[in-house]
Amino acid sequence: MELQLNRNRPLIMHIDLNSCFATCTQQAFVHLRGKPLVMVAYDTPNGCVLSPSIEAKRFGVKTGMTLREARLLCPSVISRMTDTVMVRDVHIKFKKIFKDYSPNVSPKSIDEAVIDFSDMEKVLKNRSLTDIGNEIKRRMRAEIGEWISCSIGISTNRFLAKQAAGLKKPDGLEIITHENLRQVMDKLTLIDLNGINIKFQARLNIHGIHTPLQFLDAPMDKLKKQVFQSIVGYYWYKRLRGWEVDDMDFKRKSIGQDYALSKKTADPQELSKILMKLSEKMGRRLRRHNLTARGIHVAMIYDDWTYWHRARQTDRDMFATMELYRAAQLIFNQQPESKVVSKLSVSCYDLEPCGNSQMSLFDAPSDKIRKVSEAMDKINDKYGEFVVTPALMMGMEDTVIDRIAFGAVKELEDLYSTQ
Amino acid sequence: MNEVINEKVSVELIYNRMTGEVMPRRMRWQGRLYIMKKLGYYHKARQGRTILHIFHVTDGNTDFRLSLDTENLHWTLNEITDGTTT
């Protein structure tokens, strides 16, 4: 049986801060306002553009370009590194505003959040969501800063609300309902749909689907059995019709850190130091959540764009930085050949609450290592990150600096836990 | 032009009980007096257990990032920018 379009009142609001990192920087530094600005990972010609300002976007500057490419498009572009503490502060402030309207606020990333107004109709008292959206915009300007702008999308599910938020940038407020869904879809391409990348687009094209309208009109059986050949097809069938399928909360399965090397190297000593710092950052997060890990994974992207990774389960739980580092170093040493590394990642998985693990009869020294780690954490909590570090991390102050991960809802949980 | 400074400076702070506004009004740095006209952004930051109050202010010509260390109530000028590329 064919599923109808969702004709319910649109009660999902998606809010997206425009050019978040750049806008926050322009809010703080008045003289950067109205100028083409790019926030970069490294302030070097090969540094990656993380966030261009609205003014830089007008010159065609996009996220992912190198600073050199951005300067070719816009010679007067100003480059800055992100003030991560300030951006996180903006996130906390806007989340606080959203919480005034509904208890169901789900941050999607550092610059995006969804407010769910379902079951809130009594509180809304016939107030339209457009009215609330405009009020949120006003409050963000008044309470965070006058340069802060956001795009708001309203619809019946998360997917269409996000799609609506992307219709008009910057500073838009758009609604997608069953009445205008077809008109909106008619103006988009498949790649404009959130979650459809070039691979999915090719897959849809193979089955004769070339436009979002054709995607919307495709029968469920075709999407499920032919195009996606899985339940994913059914989810898309529902999603496009405005029914909710993305209201899911995933349990944390791993904790990881990665680092794109500013100076690529094949030197095992140098790489071991980076591995140590990544293990320390990962260990801090693991211990903050009071978890232990039973598995470790190390991955490397080399300068020639080849990739090597390996995971290993350990026979006992890891908790201390030294335990994580030792396991990671063992995997690192198994690399088939020593090549120039451009990106190094380490993560731990099979997470268990601390205390559930069985103590080893024969390995008492591990208890000492854990106590040392806990003592170091206490000192670092009191006096600041990396005040006390393992000796291997000496001289690493400017390496693996603090970053804000793209997406990464779990990172936001770390942020709230430290507030 | 953007420059990291990290130098101790003398600062005069005002508090308006009616509006709740708190803002560094005057700053003396390297013998020169700067009168602040606008607060761009204020936030707190942590250095271990020490709380720092970070003020982004401008005197109309240059933007300043000032921090107040609550441990010793000392002011530091962290960086300056005038919004030009050179």
ipTM for the complex?
Answer: 0.94
**Contact between A28 and B45 using a beta-carbon 8 Å cutoff:** no
Calculate how close chain B gets to A27, using CA atoms only, in Å: 6
Task: Give the β-pairing of B50-58 and B38-47.
Answer: antiparallel
Q: Residue A178: its pLDDT value, please?
A: 94
Chain A CA closest to residue B1: A78
Chain A CA closest to residue B58: A30
A389 inside 8 A of chain B by CB: no
**Contact between A387 and B48 using a beta-carbon 8 Å cutoff:** yes
Q: Residue A146 has which token pair?
A: 């006058």
The one-character DSSP state at A190 is G
Smallest Cβ distance to B40: which of A29, A380, A387? Answer: A29
Smallest Cβ distance to A28: which of B40, B44, B84? Answer: B40
Q: How far apart are CA A71 and CA A61, in angstroms?
A: 9
**Contact between B58 and A30 using a beta-carbon 8 Å cutoff:** yes
Calculate how close chain A gets to B42, using CA atoms only, in Å: 8
Q: Residue A360: its pLDDT value, please?
A: 59
| Strand ranges inside A72-111, DSSP E | 78-81, 105-109
Q: Residue A184: its pLDDT value, please?
A: 94
Calculate how close chain A gets to B9, using CA atoms only, in Å: 19
A27 inside 8 A of chain B by CB: yes
Smallest Cβ distance to A78: which of B38, B48, B85? Answer: B85
Pick from A24, A30, A284 the residue to mutate for testing the B interface (most B CBs within 10 Å): A30
The burial class, CB within 10 Å (0-12 / 13-18 / 19+), for A308 is middle
Which stretches of chain A score pLDDT less than 50? none
Q: Residue A302 has which token pair?
A: 């080399």
**Contact between A86 and B41 using a beta-carbon 8 Å cutoff:** yes
A376 inside 8 A of chain B by CB: no
CA-wise closest residue to A277 among A113, A151, A129, A394: A394
| Three-state DSSP class for residue B22 | strand
**Contact between A27 and B41 using a beta-carbon 8 Å cutoff:** yes
Pick from B19, B21, B37, B43 the residue to mutate for testing the A interface (most A CBs within 10 Å): B43
**Contact between B83 and A31 using a beta-carbon 8 Å cutoff:** yes
Per-residue pLDDT of chain B (86 residues; tens, 9 = 90+): 889 999 999 999 999 999 999 999 999 999 999 999 999 999 999 888 889 999 999 999 999 999 999 999 999 999 999 988 75
Smallest Cβ distance to A76: which of B48, B49, B85? Answer: B85
**Contact between A381 and B58 using a beta-carbon 8 Å cutoff:** no
pTM for the complete prediction?
0.82
**Contact between B2 and A80 using a beta-carbon 8 Å cutoff:** yes
Residues of A in contact with B65 (CB under 8 A): 28-29
The one-character DSSP state at B37 is -
Q: Residue A47: its pLDDT value, please?
A: 87
Query: What amino acid is encoded at B58 in this protein?
Result: T
**Contact between A32 and B62 using a beta-carbon 8 Å cutoff:** no
CA-wise closest residue to A147 among A19, A46, A38: A19
